[in-house]
Amino acid sequence: MFDALSDRLGNTFDRLRGRGALREQDVRDAMREVRIALLEADVALPVARDFIAKVTEKAVGESVLKSVTPGQQVVKIVNDELVAMLGGGANAEGGEDGHVPLTLDAKPPVVIMMVGLQGSGKTTSTAKLGKLIREKHGKKAMMASLDVNRPAAQEQLAVLGEQAQVDTLPIIEGQQPVDIARRALESAKLRNVDVVLLDTAGRLHVDEALMAEMKAVASVATPTEVLLVVDSLTGQDAVNVAQSFSDEVPLTGVILTRMDGDARGGAALSMRAVTGKPIKFAGVGEKLDALEAFHPRRVAERILGMGDVVSLVEKAAESIKVEEAELLAKRMAKGQFDLNDLRMQLQQMQNMGGLGMLAGMMPGMKKAKQAMQASGMDDKVLVHMDAIMGSMTPKERANPALLNAKRKKRVAAGSGTQVQDVNKVLKMHQEMSRAMKQIKKMGGMKGLAAMLG
Ligand code: GDP
C-alpha cells in the first residue's frame, strides 16, 4: 500500500531537499511530479487538482522560498495537506493524529449499521468490530446479519461471531431485513447488549432496491453509526461506490478494507474529500484482529517515508512486554539503537506477523527489506538474522564497530551463514539508526517519547 506513491514522492522531495535555494519554478516542477504521482496512485482527479492548488499556493510564498530550508518546508506543507486530505486537518473532528473514534456512548443499545457492496469485506469487518468493541471498549456486543440475498451470509456471520466471541442473533429462515433489524433491537434490550452491529445485505452493484432497503433498515434501527465498507483495491470504483452510498444514506464513517494488499492508495486518499466522512478503520488482513484505527497523520507520515514509528510501538506494546517497548522507545528517542535492540525488535516482529506486515512502518525497514529480497532472502530472513545476532557477544551487539573481519567470520560460522549475511545485518542496523536519527531531528519522536513517558 502506498509503496509506489511513496517512492515517487520520495524521489521528488529528495531532489527538492538537496538544493540550498529554491525558485518558484522548482516548486512548480515538483508539484507537477506530485500531481502525476497522485493520479497514478488512483487519486480522483478533482481531489488531486485541489491538493496541488493548495500546496502550490502555500509553497511558492516568499517566506518559504527565502527560508533557510526551503525544501524541508515544502515537504512539511505537503505533509500537512496530506493529513488534511486524509481527514486530519486542524479543524477536523478527530484527535491530535486525526483519528475519529466510534461514537459508542449514546443510550444503549447503540446501533452500528454496516453497509457496502458484496465482497467488500463487510461481514468480516462487522466481526472485527464486534471483537474490538468487546475487547478494547469492554462493551457487550451483538451482531445480526440482515443479508437474505447471499446464500449462507447469515451462517457466515454466526461462524465469525463464534471466533470473535460475540453473540449473533439466532437465524429465522425467511425473515426479511427490516424485521430482522427490529428483532435484533428487541433482543439487545432484553439481554442488556451495549452495541448492536447490523450487517446489511450487499449487492454486486449499487442499485435502487439496495438503497431502498438501506433506508428502510436505517429508519427502523436509527443507527448511531452508519459505516460504509469499501475495498481499497478497487481504487476509483471504491470512490464511486462511496459517492453513491453517501448520496443516499447518512454515513458517519468509512472502513477501508484490504489495506494490506497492494492497492495504490487512491481510494484512501480520495475517500474523505468525496464523502466528507472520516475513514475510521482500515482492514489489514483476513484475521479478526486485523483492523486498525485509521490515523491520518500517521498515514501521511508513512506515505512520505518517515515510517510509522508510533503505530509500530503501539503494536509492539500489544504483543510484547510493555517494559521492553518502553525501554526501546526511550533508547530510540535518545538516538541509541544497537544490535541488542535490533534483535529484540526482530523477535517481536516475528510475533507480530513477520516482515510483510511491518515493512514500511519502520523507518529504513522498507529499504532493508527490498535489499534482502533483491538478494533472494525472504521471511526466513528474520530467523537467519536472529541466529546471526545470537552468535555475537552482548558486547558486540552493543557496539557493532567491534566486529572486525575475524569476528565476522566467527559469527558467520556460529550462525551457519556467510560473512556477507552478517554484513547485511550490520547494514540494516545502520539504515535503521540513520532513519531514527532523522526522525529525531525532525521532532517526530516527541509524541512517542511523551506517550511512553
Ligand atoms: P462481504 O461480502 O462484504 O461480507 O465480504 P466478506 O466479509 O465475506 O469478505 C470477502 C473476503 O475478503 C473474505 O475472504 C475476507 O476474508 C476477505 N477480507 C475482508 N477484509 C479483508 C482485509 O482487510 N484484508 C484482506 N486481505 N482480506 C480481507
246-285 pLDDT per residue, tens: 888 899 999 999 988 777 788 888 988 888 899 999 999 9
Q: Taking the CA atoms of 86, 89, 92 and 95 in sequence, report the sign of the dihedral they define.
A: positive
Provide the phi-psi class of 318: left if phi over 0, else alpha when psi is between -120 and 50, else beta. alpha
* Beta carbon of 369 within 6 Å of any ligand 1 atom: no
- For residue 221, the model assigns a pLDDT of 95
Same domain? For 144 and 246 the reply is yes
Tell me, in angstroms, the distance from the centre of ligand 1 to residue 375's CA: 33
Residue 313 domain flag: yes
* Pairing verdict, β 195-199 and 279-283: unpaired
Assess contact for 424 and 372: CB atoms under 8 A.
yes
Same domain? For 238 and 376 the reply is no
Same domain? For 153 and 67 the reply is no
- State yes or no: pLDDT of 224 exceeds 80: yes
pLDDT greater at residue 25 or residue 332: 25
> Which atom of ligand 1 lies at the shortest distance from residue 126's CA?
7
Identify the domain boundary among 273, 295, 317: 295
Least-confidence region, from 199-208, 372-381, 386-395:
372-381
Confidence category of residue 366, pLDDT binned at 50, 70, 90: low
Q: What average pLDDT does the segment 181-200 reach?
A: 96
Q: What average pLDDT does the segment 7-14 reach?
A: 84
Ligand-binding site membership of 370 (annotated): no
Same domain? For 184 and 227 the reply is yes
What does the block give as the cell for 230? Answer: 469499501
Ligand-binding site membership of 444 (annotated): no
Same domain? For 117 and 37 the reply is no
- For residue 238, the model assigns a pLDDT of 85
Assess contact for 351 and 320: CB atoms under 8 A.
yes
Tell me, in angstroms, the distance from the centre of ligand 1 to residue 404's CA: 50
Confidence category of residue 233, pLDDT binned at 50, 70, 90: confident
- State yes or no: pLDDT of 361 exceeds 90: no
**What are the two backbone dihedrals, phi and then psi, of residue 379, each rounded to the nearest 5 degrees?**
-60, -20
Q: What average pLDDT does the segment 205-231 reach?
A: 91
Same domain? For 39 and 137 the reply is no
- State yes or no: pLDDT of 444 exceeds 50: no
Residue 396 domain flag: yes
Assess contact for 385 and 346: CB atoms under 8 A.
yes
What does the block give as the cell for 167? Answer: 453473540
**Is 422 buried (19+), middle (13-18) or exposed (0-12) by CB count in 10 A?**
buried
Tell me the CA distances in angstroms from 246 to 47, 115, 252, 253, one per residue in order.
17, 11, 9, 10
Same domain? For 34 and 81 the reply is yes
Confidence category of residue 348, pLDDT binned at 50, 70, 90: low
Predicted confidence (pLDDT) per residue in 400-412, tens digit: 999 999 999 999 9
- State yes or no: pLDDT of 374 exceeds 80: no
Confidence category of residue 177, pLDDT binned at 50, 70, 90: very high
Same domain? For 159 and 218 the reply is yes
- For residue 236, the model assigns a pLDDT of 81
> Which atom of ligand 1 lies at the shortest distance from residue 284's CA?
23
pLDDT greater at residue 184 or residue 301: 184
Ligand-binding site membership of 26 (annotated): no
> pTM value?
0.69
- For residue 451, the model assigns a pLDDT of 33
* Beta carbon of 128 within 6 Å of any ligand 1 atom: no
Q: Give CA–CA dist 313/332, Å, rounded.
A: 11
Ligand-binding site membership of 200 (annotated): yes
Residue 133 domain flag: yes
Three-state DSSP at 118 gives coil
- For residue 274, the model assigns a pLDDT of 86
What is the widest separation between alpha-carbon atoms in the chain? 76
Q: Which amino acid is present at 26?
A: D
Q: Average pLDDT over the chain, rounded to whole?
A: 82
Same domain? For 126 and 65 the reply is no
- State yes or no: pLDDT of 56 exceeds 60: yes
* Beta carbon of 284 within 6 Å of any ligand 1 atom: yes
Q: Is the peptide bond before 394 cis (omega within 30 degrees of 0)?
A: no
Confidence category of residue 169, pLDDT binned at 50, 70, 90: very high
**Residue carrying the nine cell digits 529525531:** 440
**What are the two backbone dihedrals, phi and then psi, of residue 245, each rounded to the nearest 5 degrees?**
-65, -40
- For residue 446, the model assigns a pLDDT of 44
Q: Give CA–CA dist 406/391, Å, rounded.
A: 13
Ligand-binding site membership of 259 (annotated): yes
Ligand-binding site membership of 116 (annotated): yes
- For residue 66, the model assigns a pLDDT of 78
* Beta carbon of 360 within 6 Å of any ligand 1 atom: no
Same domain? For 54 and 163 the reply is no
Residue 94 domain flag: no
Q: Of 128, 286, 287, which is best to mutate to test ligand 1, by the most ligand atoms within 8 angstroms of its C-beta?
A: 286
- For residue 218, the model assigns a pLDDT of 94
* Beta carbon of 285 within 6 Å of any ligand 1 atom: yes
Q: How many domains does the chain have?
A: 3
> Which atom of ligand 1 lies at the shortest distance from residue 127's CA?
7
Residue 100 domain flag: no
Tell me, in angstroms, the distance from the centre of ligand 1 to residue 110's CA: 25
- State yes or no: pLDDT of 321 exceeds 60: no
Q: What average pLDDT does the segment 224-234 reach?
A: 93
Give the domain extent around 159.
110-295
Q: Give CA–CA dist 86/270, Å, rounded.
A: 8
Range 214-223 burial, b when 16+ CB lie within 10 A, else e: beebbebbeb
**Residue carrying the nine cell digits 526501546:** 328
Helix and strand totals (H; E) in the chain: 22, 8
Same domain? For 290 and 313 the reply is no
Q: What is the CATH number of the domain that holds 220?
A: 3.40.50.300
Residue 90 domain flag: no
Confidence category of residue 158, pLDDT binned at 50, 70, 90: very high
Ligand-binding site membership of 257 (annotated): yes
Tell me, in angstroms, the distance from the centre of ligand 1 to residue 108's CA: 29
Residue 96 domain flag: no
Q: What is the CATH number of the domain that holds 368?
A: 1.10.260.30
Closest C-alpha among 304, 263, 307, 267 to residue 284: 263
Least-confidence region, from 244-248, 349-353, 409-413:
349-353
Same domain? For 213 and 319 the reply is no
Nearest residue (by CA) to ligand 1, atom 2, is: 119
- For residue 453, the model assigns a pLDDT of 30
**Residue carrying the nine cell digits 451470509:** 153
Least-confidence region, from 140-149, 193-202, 257-266, 300-309:
300-309
- For residue 352, the model assigns a pLDDT of 57
